[in-house]
Structure 1
């Protein structure tokens, strides 16, 4: 939460805006809120008798922020792939406020899913809402996995083919490391819900669910580390502020 809060502060108050910094800002907000709601959910399970009425709201925030994080990661990877594959269109034809529009749509979709969970939490007889949420999460996770794999493979091929003419930029490394972190840490929790749909008995396997939640929390926490780690690469000797490191990681400056 401290790392994501630092990213939010630097980009929201002191950072220079760019198409990808808008995505990273919204991703940091989603990760911060997800970690906060996950902490609140753990606390509510410890003090269940005192916070029972808040559990439904906490879970709805978890669903909303997790959905937003997946969608934002997919949008970041897709736009970076388009910027490398179609550079002329990206520089000349790309709408000026595309990042803001996409982020607004993503948060709107995520908010709708959170409201659906609140409806189900208030009326347990509406079991079809629960099934709908599970299917939406599973389909979104599979779609995210497909898009990330295709876009990352495309980026690898393009960079490898153009390696003699174009060096690898820091932004490229940030995106690939973020995608890799999701595949290792964020995918298991989505896989759990998919297996729950396909096999009802899997829900009893609590250890996998608890472990996947821990990995999802690590996935939300590791992104700021990636930004500042990549930003430090290629820097001359001397101290650099966090703002300078973050701006360096989110631009197309060569390492």
Structure 2
């Protein structure tokens, strides 16, 4: 290297370029941390709103309002959504702690969060599938539903759902941590995408068609309309989650897609109480009524009782 080249390589201009590059990298790191902090804050606010709404529903249906066959499913769905939001908060805690460097228990927190999220997410999906089938049977076979539906069937179904989803989640978490095996989860997402979700889609479309035809003659219950909206939003938010996670088993998926799927799951669990409130409140738009009173009035609007009335009138004719 010549003296000129050596002096040029050590010139102030070269040092300035290196310093500017370091400053740019540092600025990008600060922007990245700020972006993650803003994302975590929004995430936590969404979870907080969902905590309040689902907490009120759990309190009312668990301790204040007498439950029936249908509201038993709603109670268990709110518990599953509350647990899913808890997993969302845990995920944000994990991200915030990760910003400040490595912490010895952060890996255990990640494993616990993965288990809680999967457990409650699968339970929520299963409960919504059962709700769609239950409403469809009530609509199209009202006589059977009124006289032959086992009164404690909803309790048994919910118990089976919690046990099965717990076993699936424990097995997947154990195998994924110990031997890096993800076959159980891939099978679950495959069944959700190919079998269970299409069944739910068909039953929901059938109820929507019947609701549109029925609305021309007689007004349907608010609780039914609220749950149909919940099923529609469930398809909008959750179906793509199954597709993304199923694809991620076989090929690498960008982290942004996985983050998007988590946000969709949180939104789906947070939006259900809002739907109950918007459908259950007075049509005149009075906002002075307390949210717990709106929920209480909505859950007493039992669609099964309406079906029984219509069946009795039909038999009398």
User: Could you state the TM-score of these two structures normalised by the residue count of structure 1?
Assistant: 0.88
Shift of 1:65: 0.3
Shift of 1:120: 1.7
Structure (1 or 2) with the larger CA radius of gyration: 2
Task: Quickly say closer, same or farther: Cα 1:34–1:243, change in 2 above 3 A.
Answer: same
Cα RMSD for the two superposed structures: 2.2
1:89 equivalent in alignment to 2:149: no
- Pairwise mapping of residues 165-180 of structure 1 onto structure 2 (< 5 A)? 165-180=217-232
19-28 or 244-253: bigger deviation: 244-253
Task: For 2:190 and 2:298, locate their aligned partners in 1 and report how far apart those are by CA, in whole Å.
Answer: 32
Task: Quickly say closer, same or farther: Cα 1:212–1:122, change in 2 above 3 A.
Answer: closer
1:246 equivalent in alignment to 2:295: yes
Q: Which of 197, 200, 216 is the equivalent residue of 2:251?
A: 200
Task: For 2:261 and 2:108, locate their aligned partners in 1 and report how far apart those are by CA, in whole Å.
Answer: 25
Which residue of 2 is the match for residue 66 of structure 1? 121
Shift of 1:45: 3.6
Q: For 1:81-126, what per-residue CA distance to the aligned partner results, in whole angstroms no more than 9, with x for missing partners?
A: 100100011010000111111100110111011211232244125x
Q: Quick check: 2:123–2:162 contact (8 Å CA) kept in 1?
A: yes
Task: For 2:292 and 2:92, locate their aligned partners in 1 and report how far apart those are by CA, in whole Å.
Answer: 33
Q: Which of 118, 124, 144 is the equivalent residue of 2:173?
A: 118
Q: Which of 251, 260, 266 is the equivalent residue of 1:217?
A: 266
Aligned length: 248
Give SS of 1:47's match: helix
Task: For 1:65 and 1:143, locate their aligned partners in 2 and report how far apart those are by CA, in whole Å.
Answer: 20
Q: Quick check: 1:23–1:76 contact (8 Å CA) kept in 2?
A: yes
Shift of 1:171: 1.9
Q: Quick check: 2:73–2:127 contact (8 Å CA) kept in 1?
A: yes
Which residue of 2 is the match for residue 41 of structure 1? 91
Task: For 1:78 and 1:235, locate their aligned partners in 2 and report how far apart those are by CA, in whole Å.
Answer: 32
User: Could you state the TM-score of these two structures normalised by the residue count of structure 2?
Assistant: 0.72
Q: What runs of 5+ residues in structure 1 fail to find an aligned partner? A: none
- Pairwise mapping of residues 117-136 of structure 1 onto structure 2 (< 5 A)? 117-124=172-179, 127=181, 130-136=182-188
Q: For 1:189-218, what per-residue CA distance to the aligned partner results, in whole angstroms no more than 9, with x for missing partners?
A: 222112224x513x2x11121112111111
Which residue of 2 is the match for residue 27 of structure 1? 77
Q: For 1:34-68, what per-residue CA distance to the aligned partner results, in whole angstroms no more than 9, with x for missing partners?
A: 11112212322432523212321221111110000
Shift of 1:76: 0.7
